[in-house]
Amino acid sequence: MRKTRLYIEKIEKLVHSDPKMTDYVEESVDAMKMGSELRDLREQAGLEKSDVAEKVGISESDLDTIERGSSLEAPEFNVIHLITRVILTSR
């Protein structure tokens, strides 16, 4: 919890120091939320990262990056669609 608070404080300082960063930060937060939701769905379905990654055709590392929302680039829509499809059809 403390790490999260410190991270949020750093982001707020960055945005206040450079208003152009607002869009970037908003996109990053959206990516983190989406990744977190995908991870929650995968875990609720009882699936391992390796299983989903294999079915989608990406590396487990790539799936981990998507779930953490830590990529500098947004994942392609078709990859997100495939991940979601694999998770939902496994239920």
Pick 61 or 1 by higher pLDDT. Answer: 61
Domains located in the chain, CATH noted: 19-89 (1.10.260.40)
Q: Does residue 48 have a pLDDT over 90? A: yes
Q: What are the Cα distances from residue 51, in Å, to 6, 72, 74, 90?
A: 34, 25, 22, 11
The per-residue pLDDT for 70 is 76
Pick 56 or 31 by higher pLDDT. Answer: 56
Q: Does residue 54 have a pLDDT over 70? A: yes
Q: Does residue 25 have a pLDDT over 90? A: no
Instruction: Find the mean pLDDT for residues 55-83.
Output: 86
Cα–Cα nearest to 25, from 37, 40, 13? 13
Measure the CA–CA gap between 71 and 55, rounded to whole angstroms: 21
The per-residue pLDDT for 21 is 61
The per-residue pLDDT for 33 is 82
Measure the CA–CA gap between 39 and 49, rounded to whole angstroms: 9
The per-residue pLDDT for 75 is 73
Cβ contact 77:63 at 8 Å: no
